[in-house]
Amino acid sequence: MSLSSEEIERYARHIVLHGIGGPGQQKLKAARVLVIGAGGLGSPLLQYLAAAGIGHLGIVDDDEVSLSNLQRQVLHGTPDLGRPKVASAQDAIFRLNPHVEVKTYPMRINSDNAVDLIARYDIVADGSDNFATRYAVADACFYAKRPLITAAVGSFDGSLTTLRPFEQGSDGKPNPTYRCLFPEPPPAGMVPACGEAGVLGALTGILGTMMALEVVREIVGFGQGLVGRLLLIDTHSMRFETMNYAWDPDNPLTGAALSLSPPQP
């Protein structure tokens, strides 16, 4: 996929960068990335993906912009209050980079619609704020054989990983699934929502930007990604740690006793 003269100038710092270059920038332009959530994580994620020159972005979110969002959801502004987040996000992306095509999905993704939607894209980045969506997206990415970058934030902490459970690792075993890392969601009420516990605004910026980095890395193919590794961030002590995790033979998606057949309708 060729780049116009304006795009060559726009992406000049990528094109001269060893590890990306012109071929890598063309891969970014050809890529189709689905972003789940246009909130705290989705805001910086979408901005940096658009700035990087991702050719086609899909945005899923069923919420509207509220005043309490603006402390961290920097894709939106005061004039956007009451607007659907997908519409506000689309306008912001067009202002940033008119070369990016945007498709909006003002809906909640779930186990009924996730596989069909995800199959239309090359890679998925999940910045949702609830476990039901994370499990539905992770399972659908497995069945659709799409890489998934997924992140979550607490009040002062966050985590990030990349999933390719439909492939094998260098040890010949399947790569881990989301359910290898988190076999089941925590009991209801154990993890308070950010409206109850609060969230540090800049933390979502850190994690969302790192999600964008992982998406670019997965598309272009440079460096060592986060498959089988969970990045943990603690902003209280400004500590970054990486924890290794592996395939669980008892997981319900790729467990040793199960077939890899797709779900029945």
Residue 234: which H helix or E strand, with range? strand 229-234
The Cβ-side half-sphere exposure at 253, using a 13 Å CA radius, reads 27
Number of H-type helices and E-type strands within the chain: 10, 8
As given in the structure block, the two tokens for residue 132 are 């039901």
The pLDDT of residue 265: 34
3-state secondary structure of 54: coil
The b/e string for 209-219 (b: 16+ C-beta within 10 A; e otherwise) is: ebbbbbbbbbb
Q: Which residue has the higher pLDDT, 174 or 196?
A: 174
Query: Which CA distances in Å does 165 have to 25, 194, 204, 252?
Result: 26, 30, 26, 12
The pLDDT of residue 243: 97
Does residue 258 have a pLDDT over 70? no
pTM: 0.94
CA gap 127, 192 in Å, rounded: 17
Q: How confident is residue 249, by pLDDT bands cut at 50, 70 and 90?
A: very high
User: Which of the 8 DSSP states describes residue 227?
Assistant: B
**Domains of the chain, earliest start first:** 12-244 (3.40.50.720)
Which of 39, 27, 18 minimizes the C-alpha distance to 215?
Answer: 27
